[in-house]
Amino acid sequence: MTAIEIRNLSKAFGPVRAVDDVSFSVESGTVTGYLGPNGAGKTTTLRCLLGLVTADSGTALVDGRPYTALERPLAEVGAVLEATSFHPGRTARDHLRVICTAAGLPVSRADEALEQVGLADSAGKRVAGFSLGMRQRLALGTATLGHPRVLILDEPANGLDPAGIEWLRGFLRSLAHEQGVAVLVSSHVLSEVQQTVDNVVIIARGRLVHQGSLAELTGNGDRPVRVHAADAARLAPVLEAKGARVEQPQPGVLRVHGVGAETVGQAVLDEGVLVTELVRERSDLQEIFMELTREK
Amino acid sequence: MTALVRSELQKLFTTRLWWIMLIVMLLFTGISLGFLIGFAGVEGAQGAPTLPGRDTLEFQRSAWTAGAGSSIFVMVLGIIMMTSEYRYQTITTTFLATPRRGRVVAAKLLAGLLVGVLFGVAALLLTAAAVIPSVLIAGGELALTDGGIPRIMLGVVATSALYTLFGIGLGALVRNQIAAVVGAIVWVFVIESLLTAIPALQEVGKFTPSGAAQSLIAVQADTGFGQADLLPSWAGASVLVAYALLFALVASLTTVRRDIT
């Protein structure tokens, strides 16, 4: 089921085309990564989707309706936008209770949500004393108050320590894969979401540059074979004779493009070269990401 | 809508600002009352008392207006109710919970109205605690339900409520907390004071919120320039309501259309 649908969305701030004819959709039960460098238009897209910013043209729908037309928005969509959007003098519990009241949710949800994000012990503390990681958890607690079927997160990993990021991954995956929630999560660091997302949407300078599964993204790349051998120089001409393109990034290391690991292994055997490492390089997602989003 | 108003009141009462403002407002009112009671009936340089004696109805009338002088504090409270949402970006969360922004503004104005009434009543209670004993001790006849006192009480509460609305409207327009508070202080203490005190300017001054409020509480204060030129109280009330509606309109229009980035 399509939970989020963005069609030909455009928004300019003065002369800057922040979002330029962007279209993509997010299915229930999946985690979609919305990726792009800083300033690519990720936040603007999400804010248009949430009715905070009015798009110049195009549509952004949640469950087939614009956000502003939702009867009980927090019960349908949860959003984490900035880690700083709390009144510093208000306690975590009061922050959530204020929202529960406005959204018509039972106030008991406040403590349940705090429990869920691991902030139960800090419920009565003023937010001013919270670390960035605690604020992110509180923001996530805010987003899940109404048990929404759609979750939208803008750079949620900012400020989380490695353990927090690991926790966040598990949290998002279980929401999507076990409870069928549609999760859209933005990030400017691909490696941060790489292990969490099912699909990726990549945006650069306001325009969509890629949409598809993570596997499709890596499939596009060439995967060279890396060989570590003291006598690498002897191996290179042999491989080139077999049609490979060989580069030598440093003495004793070859990167072999255009042929499989088996061909390289055969060459090693034929030449009787001592090899200390022979590996098919994992396609470097970060590199593909950089390539896709590079200034042209 | 009730839920939204409750949520707005919750926002105010879960932070410390409201009681700090309440204490400051009561202190300010208390100081005015202290002067009024302390110098009541004391003879000035010319031999005639500058302020009416504690046993007179005039004394009671002017004492009951003490609370109206602290309208700046409820105005600042109103400003902060609105601008702190922008300052701390909680406006995002607020609009996510209630994407129909007009309803948020309406709830804020209603909550502000209630808080303003509450502050006005608090000022009246303090006044009662000071005025009633002083009149009784001085052997005067206590007037609470006649002599124009009920109208003055109502005026104090209405002024307090409406100034909260002014604050919310100004906050929605300016959004920058410091700028809005400074603007309010300059307006109340400089511009309005001049316009209502200088006779030549009173033609304009009586149409300012404070001029209109004065007509409501009927402060016949002699500022040294003779009696102030004021509107009749019904017209003063209409002017205040018109201001409140204007500020509500400003608050809605500026809030509903803006992009929250």
- Torsion, Cα A174 A180 A186 A192, to 10 degrees, reads 30
Q: Nearest residue of B to residue A103 by CA position?
A: B97
pLDDT band at residue A247, thresholds of 50, 70 and 90? confident
A51 contact B CB<8A: yes
Closest by CA position to A175, among listed A46, A2, A28: A28
pLDDT band at residue B225, thresholds of 50, 70 and 90? very low
Which of B7, B99, B261 minimises the CB distance to A53? Answer: B261
Mean pLDDT of B200-208: 82
Predicted pLDDT of residue A181: 94
In a domain, A287, yes or no: no
Predicted pLDDT of residue B46: 67
CB B82, CB B250: distance < 8 Å: no
Number of Cβ within a 10 Å radius of residue A186: 23
Closest by CA position to B67, among listed B118, B115, B122, B116: B122
Interface test with B, best of A61, A98, A154 (most B CBs within 10 A): A98
**Edge-to-edge order in the sheet of strand A77-80:** A77-80, A150-154, A182-187, A31-35, A199-204, A207-213
How many structural domains comprise chain A?
2
Do A121 and A69 lie in a common domain?
A: yes
Contacts of B10 in chain A (CB under 8 A): 94, 97-98, 101
pLDDT band at residue A20, thresholds of 50, 70 and 90? very high
Q: Mention every residue, 6+ apart, whose C-beta is less than 8 A from residue A161.
A: A133
| Token code pair at residue B115 | 């808080």
Predicted pLDDT of residue B118: 95
Mean pLDDT of A12-28: 92
Q: Which of A219, A244, A265 is the last residue of a domain?
A: A219
B93: three-class secondary structure by DSSP? helix
Q: Which of A191, A219, A247 is the last residue of a domain?
A: A219
Do A161 and A208 lie in a common domain?
A: yes
Predicted pLDDT of residue B213: 81
Mean pLDDT of B224-228: 51
In a domain, A102, yes or no: yes
Query: For residues A260 and A240, what is the distance between their CA atoms, to the nearest angstrom?
Result: 13
Do A131 and A234 lie in a common domain?
A: no
Which of A47, A70, A102 minimises the CB distance to B261? Answer: A47
**A284 has pLDDT over 70:** no
Beta-carbon separation of A82 and B89 below 8 A = yes
A274 contact B CB<8A: no
| Token code pair at residue A130 | 């919270």
| Token code pair at residue B35 | 């002067």
Closest by CA position to A6, among listed A194, A157, A211: A211
**B224 has pLDDT over 50:** no
Query: For residues A117 and A142, what is the distance between their CA atoms, to the nearest angstrom?
Result: 10
pLDDT band at residue B223, thresholds of 50, 70 and 90? very low
Among A73-82, A99-108, B106-115, B222-231, the range scoring the smallest mean pLDDT is B222-231
Do A205 and A253 lie in a common domain?
A: no
A101 contact B CB<8A: yes
**A222 has pLDDT over 70:** no
pLDDT band at residue B196, thresholds of 50, 70 and 90? confident
CB B160, CB B153: distance < 8 Å: no
- Torsion, Cα A82 B183 A98 A80, to 10 degrees, reads -10
Which neighbouring-strand residues pair with A200? Answer: A33, A212
A27: three-class secondary structure by DSSP? strand
Q: pLDDT by residue (tens digit) across A131-180?
A: 888 998 999 999 999 999 999 999 888 878 888 888 889 989 999 999 99
Predicted pLDDT of residue A139: 92
Q: What is the DSSP letter of A50?
A: T
Do A237 and A129 lie in a common domain?
A: no
Q: Is B69 exposed, middle or buried (0-12, 13-18, 19+ CB in 10 A)?
A: buried
How far is the alpha carbon of B14 from chain A, nearest alpha carbon, in Å? Answer: 6
Radius of gyration of chain A (CA): 24
Do A15 and A66 lie in a common domain?
A: yes
Beta-carbon separation of B7 and A142 below 8 A = no
Q: pLDDT by residue (tens digit) across B40-55?
A: 877 766 666 677 788 8
Which of B3, B89, B257 minimises the CB distance to A102? Answer: B3
Beta-carbon separation of A94 and B90 below 8 A = no
Query: Comparing B229 with A70, which gets the higher pLDDT?
Result: A70
Radius of gyration of chain B (CA): 20
Q: What is the ipTM of this complex?
A: 0.84
Give the β-pairing of A275-280 and A225-229: antiparallel
Which neighbouring-strand residues pair with B222? Answer: B227
What is the domain range of residue A210?
2-219
What is the residue whose two structure tokens read 């009241």? A101
| Token code pair at residue A126 | 């003023």
Mean pLDDT of B249-261: 84
Query: Comparing A61 with B141, which gets the higher pLDDT?
Result: A61
Beta-carbon separation of A102 and B98 below 8 A = yes
φ, ψ (nearest 5 deg) of residue B41: 75, 0
Q: pLDDT by residue (tens digit) across B163-190?
A: 999 899 889 888 899 999 999 999 888 8
Do A118 and A237 lie in a common domain?
A: no
Q: C-alpha distances in angstroms, B143 versus B30, B124, B135, B149?
A: 20, 14, 9, 7
Number of Cβ within a 10 Å radius of residue B46: 7
Do A81 and A210 lie in a common domain?
A: yes
**B84 has pLDDT over 60:** yes
Beta-carbon separation of A81 and B92 below 8 A = yes
pLDDT averaged over chain A? 88
Share of chain B above pLDDT 70, in %: 93
Residue B62 identity (one-letter amino acid) = S
Which of B89, B96, B100 minimises the CB distance to A50? Answer: B96
Number of Cβ within a 10 Å radius of residue B133: 11
Do A132 and A24 lie in a common domain?
A: yes
Do A83 and A104 lie in a common domain?
A: yes
pLDDT band at residue A231, thresholds of 50, 70 and 90? confident
Residue A44 identity (one-letter amino acid) = T
**Which uninterrupted H or E stretch holds A170?**
helix A162-179
pLDDT band at residue A29, thresholds of 50, 70 and 90? very high
In a domain, A285, yes or no: no
Query: For residues B152 and B230, what is the distance between their CA atoms, to the nearest angstrom?
Result: 15
Q: Tell me, what CATH number does A246's domain have? A: 3.30.70
Mean pLDDT of A29-35: 93
How many structural domains comprise chain B?
1
Residue A281 CA, chain-centre distance (Å), reads 23
**B219 has pLDDT over 60:** no
Q: Nearest residue of A to residue B256 by CA position?
A: A52
Do A149 and A213 lie in a common domain?
A: yes
B93-119 burial, b for 16+ CB within 10 Å, e for fewer?
bbbbbbbbbeebbbbbbbbbbbbbbbb
Mean pLDDT of A234-245: 86
pLDDT band at residue B199, thresholds of 50, 70 and 90? confident
Query: For residues A83 and A105, what is the distance between their CA atoms, to the nearest angstrom?
Result: 23
Q: Nearest residue of A to residue B18 by CA position?
A: A89
Contacts of B95 in chain A (CB under 8 A): 51-52
A130 contact B CB<8A: no
CB A108, CB A146: distance < 8 Å: no
Mean pLDDT of B90-109: 92
Residue B97 identity (one-letter amino acid) = A
Do A20 and A139 lie in a common domain?
A: yes
What is the domain range of residue B172?
2-257
Query: For residues A148 and B13, what is the distance between their CA atoms, to the nearest angstrom?
Result: 28
Q: C-alpha distances in angstroms, A274 versus A152, A230, B50, B222?
A: 52, 7, 110, 107
CB A243, CB A266: distance < 8 Å: no
Closest by CA position to A31, among listed A203, A117, A142, A156: A156
